Amino acid sequence: MDYNEIGIKAFQEKRYEDAAKAFTEAIENNPEEAIGYVNFGNLLAAMNDIERAERFFQKAITVDGKTATAYYGLANLYYNQERYIEAAKLYQKSVDYGIQGADAYYMLAKSFEREEKFKLALPYMQRAAELAPDDLQIRLSFGILLCTLEMFDEAKKELEYVIEKDENNADAHYNLGVLYAVSTEDIESALHHLKQAYTIAPEFDQAKYIYDMVSQRLN
């Protein structure tokens, strides 16, 4: 009987007490395997029991220092606590030890962004976009980061891709409008995209504010 599988199924079905019992059995039967501690850590994190979750992830790393998912789970805890530099180191460890997919690269980039280390964030965000080319949130974040670094031609491609796939993406319209306003003389395109942003999302006050500012350049 695979108690980890039983626990994961219960966890997915939000039967947290059953999941806890199963993960406890998994750990008791195989105390030298890290996966049970990781699974219990993920459960505790979902239940917002942060201190205990941290201990379980750390225990997993003690048992097996190459457990990528333990580093990733612990990194998520630290990111949510705004401990971004510590989180970045742990996301990097998770990548080093073979975690699959774009998420770790994306979160590593976001950790550096939060510390305003934009150049450090760039290669990781680019890698995330390469691994998940259809993920519009990643592509949008990549475009915004490129704007921040004033790499406007590359940013424009990313933002236009997002809008092509989701024409009602207010954030993409806003950032593309700002891009046109600050890096080109194409005021009409800037106004078009800014207006789209606050039309799609009427609470988007910043888009309306920038629209009004840019409009004054036509007078």
What pLDDT digit, counting tens, does each position of 89-145 carry? 999 999 999 999 999 999 999 999 999 999 999 999 999 999 999 999 999 999 999
Q: What is the pLDDT of residue 219?
A: 67
Phi-psi label, residue 135: left if phi above 0, alpha if psi -120 to 50, beta otherwise: beta
What pLDDT digit, counting tens, does each position of 140-176 carry? 999 999 999 999 999 999 999 999 999 999 999 999 9
What pLDDT digit, counting tens, does each position of 134-147 carry? 999 999 999 999 99
With b meaning 16 or more CB within 10 Å and e meaning fewer, what string describes 95-116?
A: bebebeebbbbbbbbbbbbbee
Protein fold of 135-219: 1.25.40
**Total-model pTM:** 0.92
Rounded to the nearest integer, the mean pLDDT of the chain is 97
Residue 84 has pLDDT above 70, yes or no: yes
Q: What is the pLDDT of residue 44?
A: 97
DSSP assignments along 47-72, one per residue: TT-HHHHHHHHHHHHHH-TT-HHHHH
Q: What is the pLDDT of residue 55?
A: 98
Q: How confident is the model at residue 217 (pLDDT cuts 50, 70, 90)?
A: confident
